[in-house]
Structure 1
Amino acid sequence: MKIVSKPIKTIAVFEYDDGTPMPYKFKIMEDSEEEITVQVNKIFGHERKRIAGIESIIYKCQSVFGNIERIYELKYMVSECRWVLYKI
Structure 2
Amino acid sequence: QLLKNILTDSELVITVEENTSIGGIGSIMCEIVVDNEITTKLKRVSLEDKQEFCFGSRDWLIENGGIKKENIVDIIRNFHNG
TM-score relative to the length of structure 2: 0.22
TM-score relative to the length of structure 1: 0.21
Instruction: Kindly name which structure, 1 or 2, has the bigger radius of gyration based on alpha carbons.
Output: 2
Counting helix residues as a fraction of each chain, which structure ranks higher?
Answer: 2
Structure of higher RCO (CA pairs closer than 8 Å, 6+ residues apart)? 2
